[in-house]
Amino acid sequence: VKILGEDGSVSGIECVKMVLGDVDTSGRKRPTPLTGSEHIIDCKAVIMAIGQSISLDFISENATLTNRGALAVSDSMKTNIPGVFGGGDCVIGPSSVIDAIASGAIAARSIDAYLSGTWGTPMEPEYAEKIWLTDETKIDPKIRQRPRYLSPNRRVTNFEEIESNLTFEQGITEALRCLHCGPCDTCLEKDETCLTDKANVNEALCSGCGTCSTVCPYNSVLRTELGLALIDESTCKGCGTCAASCPDRAISMRRLSDDCLYDEIRPGGKQ
C-alpha cells in the first residue's frame, strides 16, 4: 500500500492481502483488497523490482538508443554523450537486482577513470577468488561407503528390501568424499585429447553471481568485462558441475542436458 518512514529512513512497508473478485471485461477475476487484512512488514531498505518501464526524459535527445528502446552503452557502460554513463534496467531491460549491481560496479570504475584522467587505460577484469583444490595429490582418497545387504537365508523367507539405506554416519562420510567431478577416466588421466563437450553460457540468462566460478574444480570459469561467466575451453573438462549449480540455468551441457537425462530416466520409469 505504501512505504513507511521514520527519521528520514525507511521503517517498513504497509501491505494488504488481495483476493480474486468479480470477472472484469477481460474475462479474468480482478484482484481486490481484503478488508481488515492490512499489516506492516518492518524493514530498513526497499528495492523496487516490479518491472517498471524506462523513462529517459531527463537525458539529451542526442542519446543513442537500441532497437528495444534501451540506452546504448559500450562495454564500459559509457553512452555516446560525453560524461554520461548508463546501467541497470535502462541498458539491459527488466532483469535481476544482481544485474543492476554488476553494471553499477563497472560504471563506477569507468566514471572513476573518466574523472581521474585515466580514461583509455585498459581495466583488468575482476575474477572471483579460486577456492577449490586442483592438485589431486592434496586430496585424501576415501573408500566408497556400501549399504548393508540381507543374507541369502533371510531373503528367501520374506519380501523385505535386500539392500538397506546408508546409515547416518555413512551418509556423512560419503558426502565428504571427493568425486573429482570429471566426466570419465580420461579426464582423471589428464588426457588433453579428450573431445567431451564444454560448458556453454547463455549471457542473456547469466546474472554474474559467481556460483559457477566458486564450484568449478578446474578453475575454468572466468569473467567478462560485464561480470558475466566466461568458460575457458582450454581447461574445461565438461564435468557439468557449473551447469548443475547455476541458479539461473544459464549454463548448459549437450551431453548432460535435460533432454539427455530425461532419455536416460524414461526407460527406468516405464519399468
- C-alpha separations of 198 from 47, 106, 203, 230, 246 in Å: 37, 28, 16, 12, 15
| 178 beta partners | none
* SS3 assignment, position 201: strand
Q: Where do the structural domains in the chain lie, given as residue ranges? A: 2-42, 64-123, 127-133+181-265, 142-177
Average the pLDDT over 167-178 and give the result.
84
Give the pLDDT band of residue 57 (cuts 50, 70, 90): confident
Instruction: Tell whether the model's pLDDT for residue 206 goes beyond 70.
Output: yes
CA distance 13 to 90: 26
CATH of domain 127-133+181-265: 3.30.70.20
CB 31 within 8 A of CB 21: yes
If you average pLDDT over residues 236-257, what whole number do you get? Answer: 81
- Chain mean pLDDT for the chain: 80
222, 127 in Cβ contact below 8 A?
Answer: yes
More confident residue, 85 or 259: 85
Cβ density class 13-50: b for 16+ within 10 Å, e for less: eeeeeeeeeeeeeeeeeeeeeeeeeeeeeeeeeeeeee
Q: What is the pLDDT of residue 185?
A: 47
- Quote the longest CA-to-CA distance of the chain: 87
Q: What is the pTM of this model?
A: 0.34
The string of pLDDT tens digits covering residues 7-43 is 989 999 999 999 998 888 888 888 899 999 999 999 9
